Amino acid sequence: MKKSTAEDSRSHKAQVVVDRLGEKLNRQIVGSLVACVHCGLCTDSCHYVLSNPGDPTYAPAYKADRIRKIFKRHYDWTGRVFPWLVGAETIMTDEELEELKDIAFGKCTNCRRCSLNCPMGVDFATVNRMTRGLLVSVGIMPEGVATVSKDQWEIGNQMGVLKEDYLETLEWMEEELQDELDDPSARIPVDKRDCAVVYSINPREAKYDPRTIGDAAKIFHAAGEDWTMPSDGWDMTNFGLFSGDDELGGAVARHLFDRVQELGGKKLVISECGHGYRSTRCEAPNWAKYDVPFEMESSVETMLRYVKEGRIKLDKTRNSEPVTFHDSCNLARSCGMTEEPRELLNLVCTDFREMYPNREENYCCTGGGGAMSMSEYTPRRLKSGKIKAEQLKATGAKVVVTSCHNCVDGLTDVIRHYELDMKVTQLVNLVAEALVIEKPARAPAVAEELPLAGRRIVVADDEPDQLLYLATVMEDYGATVYQAATGDEALELARKEKPDLVTLDLSMPGRPVTEIFELLRSDSELEGLKICLITGRPEMRELIYQRMEIPPDGYLDKPLSEDDLLRGVRKVLELSHQEG
């Protein structure tokens, strides 16, 4: 009879993780797993440690040891011969895997600052990414990671933007652009064949920040570029980088690369996104085992090239507020792109101030590595942003520019949480603002109607300043506005005034806004009413969309500029198509 051993009682998932660890080992991983001498130099490079000085569990060496001990026990001879000496330990239970999940996903953004500062060349971020991949393969991952990964696997983009919504957004941005330039030749061409440039974007742009698409289109138009956007395979982000799932990484990239080839595109331009650029340009050809036959470049390089080639002209005085630049970890540390954005910034604004430390030594925005999708770790993430907040504040800048969509969201949360007087924007927005475009001469309109004229809107927000701001902007553009300080007041006003639109702040006291939303939706006398949610907490979006049977007609993130508010409200009211 076979003697039972501890190995026999290992859970199935733990066994799969142990087995697959062996399959994942390569020279880079093994080097990082054996080379650590626990000197501690990585400790002070981590923003989690710097913001939580009393908690040693955030130290990169400690975190790496959680996976290192399994490697030592199963795949390194030292751990097999004298495990007590080298700290080798196996892993037996699903609970231990959950603990590993908490470290791999909740205590590291894979920003690689510790990797850069390790004298032994230990790349902890790579080990951590592998650990994430092992956990994902057995279904152990934060809910948000599962949601986003499944969207990217099955819908083809990581925010589940359906094709019809994406195309509608492009049409809307095209109409806005034609309006702005008063030029019907300003277009966003879709699926145009044999173009010089195929432009790919982050789905965040289509879902939450379409202004960046419009601004990019404006720049392509001004440069006279022969360009297009694909109707499918347009997402250049890759959640495989964050989840550690190389299969997903390869599938996403192949989809994008195939599409560029089908369209006969000469060059793939990747919009301003750190992880998108790193994934698509640097990692994905390996994940997908794809020999990419076309050029790829970041839109930062594209915009800079247009200026240098004299294809666009900029008036930097239009961006006169003090500006600083946040280097994305993926662009700067992992891809070495540090000077191009600075060169462009100096061409596009009048007061650029460095942040210290900067370039590859910059601190993480706190939103990298998929952290923005893991709402269970939000308090931890915001606490770890203390060092970033101090760094931002020391610049004295009013605007922080970054070439990464994760950083936009991460920094926005840090700025809000630490109450800094700053806003976040991207280079594409600054370049579009500074573009000098000579408009064709037209006869002035006799009487121009205000864009929200005749619209009746209930605005609900419990913060008086915010309520006044939203109401004033909408009134200035011609709307009749009814103000409500609570959800119940909004409900009462909606039933009484029968408005075209209700905007609801998500965090009002009293009855949950989800309940108010359901009541508005189910009221037969309010059929056709549009509802737009306004939130300062982006992590709440998913909860709302999952819980509500009929999703809201739109959503906007605070803080809201006048332009964004007007554009968002017009979109919800579908005014762009009727009147654009």
| Site residues (vs other proteins, CB under 8 A) | 12, 16, 137-139, 146-151, 153-156, 160, 162-163, 247-248, 250-251, 254-255, 258, 546, 549-551
Nearer to other proteins, 163 or 577 (CB): 163
Give the residue with the Cβ less far from other proteins, 152 or 178. 152
Encoded tokens for 425? 């924007």
**Smallest separation, CB 2 to other proteins (Å):** 20
Q: Min. distance of Cβ 420 from other proteins in angstroms? A: 33
Our CB check for other proteins shows the closer of 258 and 351 to be 258
The DSSP line for 373-405 is G-GGGHHHHHHTTHHHHHHHHHH--SEEEES-H
**CA pair distance 15, 8, nearest whole angstrom:** 10
Shortest approach of other proteins to residue 239 CB, angstroms?
11
Helix (H, G, I), strand (E, B) or coil at 457: strand
Helix (H, G, I), strand (E, B) or coil at 161: coil
Q: Quick one: tokens of 82?
A: 């004298």
Residue in 233, 229, 277 with CA at minimum distance from that of residue 251: 233
Smallest distance, other proteins to C-beta of residue 306, A: 33
Between 255 and 380, CB nearer to other proteins: 255
* CA-based nearest residue to 215, from 436, 439, 407, 433: 433
Alpha-carbon dihedral angle through residues 213, 214, 215, 219, given to the nearest 10 degrees: 100
Whichever of 24 and 318 has its CB closer to other proteins, that residue is 24
Q: Burial-class residue 396 by CB neighbours within 10 Å (0-12, 13-18, 19+).
A: exposed
Looking at the Cβ atoms of 265 and 274, the one nearer to other proteins is 265
Residue 310 structure tokens: 């004299």
Q: How many residues can be counted in the chain? A: 580
- Residues sharing a CB contact under 8 Å with residue 245, sequence separation 6 or more, in sequence order: 133, 136, 137, 149, 239
d(Cα 468, Cα 235) in Å, to the nearest integer?
38
**Minimum distance, C-beta of residue 248 to other proteins, in the bound complex (Å):** 8
Residue 158 and residue 235 in contact, taking contact as beta carbons nearer than 8 Å:
yes
Which lies closer to other proteins via its Cβ, residue 251 or residue 331? Answer: 251
Q: How far is the CB of 397 from other proteins (least distance, A)?
A: 37
Nearer to other proteins, 153 or 418 (CB): 153
* Nearest-approach distance from CB 460 to other proteins, in angstroms: 24
Phi first, then psi: what are they for 431, rounded to 5°? -65, -45
Q: How far is the CB of 71 from other proteins (least distance, A)?
A: 20
Q: Which is nearer to other proteins, 320 or 522 (CB)?
A: 522
The closest of 24, 207, 28 to 115, measured between CA atoms, is 28
What residue type is assigned to position 298 of the chain? S
Q: Provide the 10 A C-beta neighbour count for residue 174.
A: 21
Least distance from C-beta 522 to other proteins, angstroms?
Answer: 11
